[in-house]
Amino acid sequence: MGCGFVHSETILIHTGGKPMLPHVHILLCTKDGGAFLAPQLHSILTQTHQDWSLWISDDGSTDQTVPEIERFIANHPDREIRLLQGPKKGCAQNFMSLLAQPELDGAWVAFADQDDIWMPHKLGRAVDMIWRGTGAQIYASRSVYTDSCLNVIGMSPRYQRPFEFGNALVQNVLNGNTIVIPPMITDFLRSTVGFSVQANVPFHDWWVYQMVTGAGFDVIHDAKPGIFYRQHENNILGAQRINVMHRAMLVIQRIFVDWVDRNVMVLNDLAPVLTKPSRRLLFNFIDWRTQTTPILRAAPQSIGVYRQSQSGDLALRALGWMGGV
């Protein structure tokens, strides 16, 4: 881990020599998710790690989402469950508005989506793996893909290449609905969230992946799945991540280019908080993208930018030649 941070005593509290696992703030964003919300709330309630609070930011739901949340709060008065009003500017902005809450200074944080189901071990395993590491790591895991009725249809990939900034520049491999972060990373992300909101980054989890790897933090990517990840027509990203045709359309319509543009804008503004190697890589990537004749671009791998598979690298190189990245 390249930042020079040390293991923080906030990772584990000691009481009389006996360790006590930390309190985790679960950040859940909702928007018209009433059809699937109740099972997700129940799965949070039945976690083996029981020391948590739940903060929900609703982004203007018009279905039964808010009444469902209010019932859940009323049925569990012993729990700290907050319902907040989102900024109504999309999913990424909604998550960032939660992360910016001042009470989250020095907090453990877990991200949650409205339509998944957490396996009982999900939260406890994440905390345990961070605790057993350096304490300055972000946790994410694989997911079991299901259809809207929770029939299993596959699994997220098991990646083999390093989870580093060169990958994060062109690929988001950390599913936000599995992410758990310790206080050190929470505070770092909170220090940059204002710039990122202004830049209107497209996805909060991609932003997290880029910022933490750019600053030299390590990634724990757990091969053991922690959630059931529904794929359905209203899922903003889920099914798209395993739909090759959809990804091709993103390139044709230059939507992917726009996403990278917005990410690069905020990374450039926040370059002083990146490590020196990350800054160098970012500036080389910017130069590579701005070459006037894309067909003459070198392979992106030559500057340290890569995807998680050889086929992904080949596709990235082809995109570079077409000006699609």
pLDDT tens for residues 24-59? 999 999 999 999 999 999 999 999 999 999 999 999
Could you tell me the residue range of the domain that residue 190 belongs to? 9-242
Unique residue bearing structure tokens 């989250």: 104
Check: CB of residue 313 under 8 Å from CB of residue 306: yes
Asked if residue 125 and residue 207 are part of one domain, the reply reads yes
The answer to whether residues 254 and 157 belong to one domain is no
Label residue 243 by pLDDT band (50, 70, 90).
low
What tokens were used for 118? 């957490």
Question: Do residues 41 and 183 both lie within one domain?
Answer: yes
The C-alpha atoms of residue 226 and residue 68 are separated, in whole angstroms, by: 24
Residue 246, pLDDT > 70, answer: no
pLDDT the model gives residue 322: 77
pLDDT of residue 12: 42
Domain identity same for 168 and 299: no
Residue 2 counted as domain residue: no
Q: Is 109 helix (H, G, I), strand (E, B) or coil?
A: strand
pLDDT value at residue 255 = 83
Q: Are residues 172 and 309 in the same domain?
A: no
Last residue of a domain, one of 220, 242, 264: 242
Same domain membership, residue 307 and residue 163: no
- Averaged pLDDT score across all residues of the chain: 88
Alpha helices (H) in the chain, listed in sequence order: 34-45, 65-75, 91-99, 122-132, 165-168, 183-199, 204-214, 244-252, 255-269, 276-289, 310-322
Residue 10: is its pLDDT beyond 60? no
Say if residue 44 is in the same domain as residue 144.
yes
In terms of Cβ atoms closer than 10 Å to its own Cβ (0-12, 13-18, 19+), residue 4 is exposed
Which helix H or strand E contains 87, and what residues bound it?
none
Question: Could you tell me which of 182, 186, 179, 172 has the C-alpha nearest to residue 221?
Answer: 179
1 within a domain of the structure (yes/no) = no
- Residue 247 has a pLDDT of 56
Structure tokens at 88: 């109504």
Domains held by the chain: number: 2
Q: Is residue 265 assigned to a domain? A: yes
